[in-house]
Amino acid sequence: MSLFVIADLHLPLAVNKPMDIFGGWDNYVERIEQNWKAKITPDDTVVLPGDISWSMSLEESYPDMKFIHDLPGTKIISKGNHDYWWNTAAKMNRFFEERGLTSLNILHNNHYAYEGFGICGSRGWINENGEAADLKVLLREAQRLDVSIRSAEQAGLTPVVFLHYPPVYAGTSNEPMLAVLREHGIRWCFYGHLHGKKTHANAVTGKRAGINYRLIAADYLKFDPLDITELIKED
């Protein structure tokens, strides 16, 4: 059983908002499906950290959720800044159950166990201008991350963190999120959100202050889910 990750699918199956108007995104849905089926089995787990669907409501998201469900493996999904369809955990769980989308699992104030590791995370946020409203959201996301990590630790698991927003970027850092990562001694943090070659060039990928960071946005991965099974076992 392997563990994979890929963020920012930006699926447009329910709305007419494809990403292929941007460079490098041509035929991206087909490429995701092809690469996914080439390497992922029903016994594997795939983490999808945000920006999953362009849908504006939970009901509207069904074609995109069905597309993901029909792909092999167990999926763990979390919220991104463009997931306007996202709802309460209770409503989403009921929606998935009623429509037979049994391979979809929500990461929100909780964790999922994987071979001694705890899959943890939250959306994260960016406080670029120091606005009070942004700071309020950021502190809430940091608290959610803390709750998620603590739940894994209480289960005796080693937490691995999956965020949508990057906690570090170029020469900047998101201190509330980093404080949580440092407090819990997190060794691995995977994040998405960043698109385009110029932005990718400024992404932090590697070890910084004891934490290993990896950008896993779909276009950065060439729409090919990343196998992190052995990676997270490394120091």
Q: Domain spans of the chain?
A: 3-233
HSE-CB for 207 with a 13 A CA cutoff: 6
Pairwise pLDDT comparison (16 vs 80), residue with the higher score:
80
Is it true that domain 3-233 has CATH number 3.60.21.10? yes
Give pLDDT, residue 30: 96
Q: Examine the pLDDT at 170 and tell me if it is beyond 90.
A: no
Give pLDDT, residue 24: 86
Q: Examine the pLDDT at 17 and tell me if it is beyond 70.
A: yes
> Whose CA is closest to 190, among 107, 83, 68?
107
What pLDDT digit, counting tens, does each position of 131-169 carry?
677 888 899 999 999 999 999 999 999 999 999 999 999
How far apart CA 207 and CA 158 sit, in angstroms, is 18
pLDDT category at 220 given cuts 50, 70, 90 is very high
Give pLDDT, residue 128: 62
Q: Are 221 and 228 in contact (CB under 8 A)?
A: no
What pLDDT digit, counting tens, does each position of 95-140 carry?
999 999 999 999 999 999 999 999 999 999 886 656 677 888 899 9
What are the structure tokens assigned to 190, written together?
């995977």
**Three-class DSSP category at 146:** helix
**Three-class DSSP category at 72:** coil
Give pLDDT, residue 171: 82
Q: Examine the pLDDT at 228 and tell me if it is beyond 60.
A: yes
The average pLDDT across 65-93 equals 97
Give pLDDT, residue 135: 83
Q: Examine the pLDDT at 91 and tell me if it is beyond 60.
A: yes
Both ends of the chain: CA-CA distance in Å? Answer: 21
C-alpha distances in Å from residue 41, one per residue of 13, 70, 115:
23, 12, 17
The pTM score is 0.96
Q: How many helices (H) and strands (E) does the chain have?
A: 6, 13
Q: Are 215 and 200 in contact (CB under 8 A)?
A: yes
Interstrand relation of 3-5 and 45-49 (parallel, antiparallel or unpaired): parallel
Give pLDDT, residue 172: 85
pLDDT category at 93 given cuts 50, 70, 90 is very high
Q: Are 141 and 177 in contact (CB under 8 A)?
A: yes
Q: What is the mean pLDDT of the chain?
A: 94
Angle, helices 175-183 vs 132-154, to 10°: value is 10
